[in-house]
Chains A and B, each alone.
Chain A
């Protein structure tokens, strides 16, 4: 299998607080994980690529100090939204590549973030 989980599935927080989202590959090791953001009725936008043991690579326009990514192990990557504001409300989805099929990304179920 190739199962990716995310926790929490849904979170509501107050403006100015920080929120951590976890992405785990449950039955495989993932040296690379990806974080996407999806606005309502829109496609997925890649935010950053997370490599185990190294710094994440952010896409143009994504604030790395606001969206902190840590990939501390081969099965876990975390995305922390710091000092969240209402405009950060979105659906965040992670994916992971399963070795040796480095060509395919397996997606988590997503996390719905609402910032009040």
Chain B
């Protein structure tokens, strides 16, 4: 069965500092990986996704993620965070075919301090 682990429940970063959110997955085949962001009381917005090709994926809002098969990881990064980046971040793994379900990690809450 597929699973996603986000080891960090809560991260606090100063505005302007760099950010890395960790995500590890377990999947029997080639995974399709996603990062979503959720603001309080809101739905999820897709930041970026990886299916194949270049392992460094660029997303919206200046985010990027790197797929490392050897480490089963898909960490999210941003060089310089803004106060508006404070939110909950979810990593998810899915399949293009088959049952096509998404499995989400437990999320990482990001707090930005001035």
Contact = CB atoms under 8 A, between A and B. Distances in A.
B43 A93 contact: yes
Contacts of A97: 100
Given A32-B100, A43-B104, A103 B49 contact: yes
Contact of B104 (A41, A44, A49, A109): A44
Per DSSP, chain B at the interface is: strand
Interface in A4-57: 4, 6, 32, 34, 41-44, 46, 49
Interface residues of A, number: 23
A64 interface: no
9 contacts: A6-B43, A42-B106, A43-B104, A43-B107, A49-B100, A49-B101, A103-B49, A107-B36, A110-B42
Interface of A: 4, 6, 32, 34, 41-44, 46, 49, 93, 95, 97, 102-110, 112
